[in-house]
């Protein structure tokens, strides 16, 4: 790739800055960490790896990067693409082979959404592999739009207010998941991917299915942003500005013992009778 234009340079700097801020804000990476960067072959994970390799060069701390891709044995999966790309980058990498495709096809009826099961199987395998290689952090390529979409999916379909945290300790307690692109928007990531001409590997198992709930939510948010630019960003900021007393979760706030404060000063000024 030749010299960047002014706008391209701004795009690269913006993504690097936003990722750096997210890493710092949530203490995602610490000195001596071994970060397992999970690569799917999509635009998000390629961008994440690119940004983390830059941070590795300029950060005041030392940390390792190990790229890991999971070959789920999908028919037609181009096995050569990622190894060739990673060899050219000159970084350590592993290809984990696990036939989750057959499991998903066996358990999920034809025409039904496979994304949930596919994701769970992939995540479990990667958690185990991260433990095997001694990775202290596991980096996933979810971005700001993914986080907001997940928030609405949980609210609409699960009746809960939760999203994807930028940093998460897994249930097993042995893995810490980080999302360095938490502050980055999908539009910028797509533009950067096009600029860098990453060798994209499409997901033909689950990502190409139509009428997914996530796609419905994505379309809704994009329509909102068209009508009111900046709305998705505002929603994301709200996830960082939670006020438990203004919601209704009795486990999060003690409504039961909430009473007036007898020692509080009156807010009303005494009125003098004329």
Which residues sit in the known binding site?
115, 118, 206
Question: In Å, what is the CA distance from 45 to each residue of 16, 37, 193?
Answer: 14, 8, 10
CA distance 18 to 24: 10
User: For residue 109, what are its two tokens?
Assistant: 């009826």
Alpha helical stretches, state H, 26-114: 43-58, 81-89, 100-107
Task: Find, among 48, 46, 50, the residue nearest to 22 by Cα.
Answer: 48
Task: Find, among 85, 17, 83, 91, the residue nearest to 55 by Cα.
Answer: 17
CB-based contact 87:126 (threshold 8 Å): no
Residue list for the binding site for [4Fe-4S] cluster? 115, 118, 206
CB-based contact 181:17 (threshold 8 Å): no
User: For residue 110, what are its two tokens?
Assistant: 């034809």
CA distance 65 to 112: 37
User: For residue 73, what are its two tokens?
Assistant: 């044995």
């Amino acid at each position: 790739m030749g010299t960047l234009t002014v706008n391209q340079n701004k795009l690269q700097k913006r993504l690097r800055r936003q990722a750096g801020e997210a890493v710092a804000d949530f203490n995602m990476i610490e000195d001596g960490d071994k970060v397992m960067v999970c690569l799917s072959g999509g635009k998000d994970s390629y961008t994440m790896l690119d940004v983390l390799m830059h941070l590795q060069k300029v950060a005041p701390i030392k940390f390792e990067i190990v790229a890991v891709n999971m070959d789920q044995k999908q028919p037609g999966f181009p096995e050569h693409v990622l190894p060739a790309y990673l060899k050219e980058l000159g970084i350590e990498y592993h290809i984990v082979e696990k036939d989750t495709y057959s499991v998903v096809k066996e358990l999920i009826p034809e025409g039904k959404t496979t994304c949930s099961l596919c994701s769970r199987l992939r995540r479990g395998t990667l958690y185990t592999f991260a433990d095997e290689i001694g990775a202290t952090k596991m980096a996933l390529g979810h971005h700001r739009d993914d986080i907001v979409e997940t928030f609405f999916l949980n609210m609409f379909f699960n009746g809960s207010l939760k999203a994807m945290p930028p940093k998460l300790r897994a249930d097993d307690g042995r893995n810490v998941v980080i999302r360095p692109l938490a502050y980055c928007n999908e539009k910028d990531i797509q533009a950067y991917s096009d600029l860098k001409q990453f060798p994209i590997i499409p997901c033909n198992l689950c990502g190409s299915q139509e009428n997914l709930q996530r796609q419905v939510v994505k379309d809704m948010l994009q329509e909102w942003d068209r009508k009111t630019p900046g709305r998705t960003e505002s929603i994301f900021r709200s996830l960082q500005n939670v006020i438990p007393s203004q919601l209704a979760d009795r486990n999060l706030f003690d409504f039961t013992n909430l009473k007036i404060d007898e020692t509080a000063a009156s807010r009303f000024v005494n009125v003098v009778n004329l």
